[in-house]
Amino acid sequence: MISIPDWPDVPPTQRGEGTIPLRYQDVAQDGRARLVALSPAVGAVVWQSVIHASPMARAMRDTGVVPILSRLILEGGGGPISVQHPMHGRGALELAHSVDGNGAVSKILLNMWVDVEAPRGRTHFPPPDGAGEPIRVGRIFAEHVFSRPFGPPGERKVLSFSVAGGPSVPPLRYRWRELEDVLALPDGASALDGEPCPAPAPTVFSLGDTDSNQHVNSLVYPRIFEEAVRRLHEHGVSTGAILMRGIDIAFRKPCFAGDVMRIEVRAFRWGEGFGAAVSLGPDVPPGASRSRPHCCARLYFSDG
């Protein structure tokens, strides 16, 4: 249900490795890593080990161009693992462009891939068979669109970006996906909800949800979307053994401290597991039309 683009064939200067520490809340009681534990790997493996030491960092600093996260895919892997041993990630990045319906450049993108592994183990109890052998605990794809977020409104769109004498438009063409595409149920899924169902209470953001980029941190969204498991409970699904194993999020615009938003959920069954199509938009009075969502996601829950 969750599909990650194939890794690119790029030189060593566009690849990196890094270590990702674990906290107790990052590993579920069955020993599988929670998806929210994987997201920091993008920073540790790609941003810190590749970008910060590359000509791209200087180009961004000199031009005021910043890659803004527009899509995040997290896929969980196996277990068990122990919180006492950090995860290890290897990653890669690639520049690309997308085009509009007329074939003109519409976006310049920075895409990132990370594979995360950890030694098989347990935090407590006897060690499992094969303790110490490396196992894949997750995969990540992060799509970014270059922008000038601090420039005048009419000058924020970036249609060219050159790094160390390279081409102003990266030659690789990337297929752009619209925000609402992620809400489509996967082939073979059986809808449990005919229409999206508003959450019974709004989502209210505070300073505790923000970061130094002056908006709600991107890692907050997977956490609040994971609460879609409540809708599965309302359909009679036994939730004690299921865990979110995949999430595909598309971002349109950020949320800020003080924003009052409302989640809408459409649950479905898919294969041996369950899923949910989720959107987050401004809270409006009953019967009023909702504006376009700030972000949308498709989630997959499994018991193994």
* pLDDT tens, residue order, the chain (304 aa): 688 999 999 999 999 999 999 999 999 999 999 999 999 999 999 999 999 888 899 889 888 999 999 999 999 999 999 999 999 999 999 999 999 999 999 999 999 999 999 999 999 989 999 999 999 999 999 999 999 988 888 889 999 988 887 899 999 999 999 999 999 999 999 999 999 999 999 999 999 999 998 999 998 999 999 999 999 999 999 999 899 999 999 999 999 999 999 999 999 999 889 999 999 999 988 778 888 999 999 999 998 7
Same domain, 124 and 200: no
Cα distances (Å, whole numbers) of residue 275 to 19, 192, 271, 294: 31, 10, 10, 20
Q: Given this model, what pLDDT does residue 152 score? A: 87
**Does residue 3 form part of some domain?**
no
Residue 131's CATH number: 3.10.129.10
Answer yes or no: is 287 within a domain: yes
> Looking at residue 272, what is its pLDDT?
86
Same structural domain for residues 134 and 199? no
Please tell me whether residues 195 and 288 are part of one structural domain: yes
CA dihedral 208, 213, 215, 217 (to 10 degrees): -60
What's the domain count of the chain?
2
- Residue listed under structure tokens 């169902």: 197
Is residue 168 domain-resident? no
Name the burial class of residue 42, with classes exposed (0-12), middle (13-18) and buried (19+) by CB atoms within 10 angstroms of its CB. buried
Q: pLDDT (tens digit, 9 = 90+) per residue, 66-112?
A: 999 999 999 999 999 999 999 999 999 999 999 999 999 999 999 99
Q: What is the pLDDT of residue 1?
A: 65
**Of 155, 172, 189, the domain-final residue:** 155
| Pair (126, 17) in one structural domain | yes
Q: Which residues are registered as beta bridge partners of 69?
A: 144
Residues 284, 207, single domain; the answer is yes
Pairing of strands 197-198, 87-99: unpaired
Residue 18 lies in a domain: yes
134 domain residue, yes or no: yes
- C-alpha 57/C-alpha 51 separation (Å) is 6
The answer to whether residue 232 sits within a structural domain is yes
Domain boundary (106, 140, 155) is at 155
Residue 6, in any domain of the structure? no
Residues 137 and 197 in one domain: no
Report the chain's C-alpha Rg in angstroms. 20
Instruction: Render pLDDT for 22-53 as a digit per residue (tens, 0 to 9).
Output: 999 999 999 999 999 999 999 999 999 999 88
**Same domain, yes or no: 188 and 137:** no
150 shares a domain with 260: no
41 lies in which domain range? 12-155
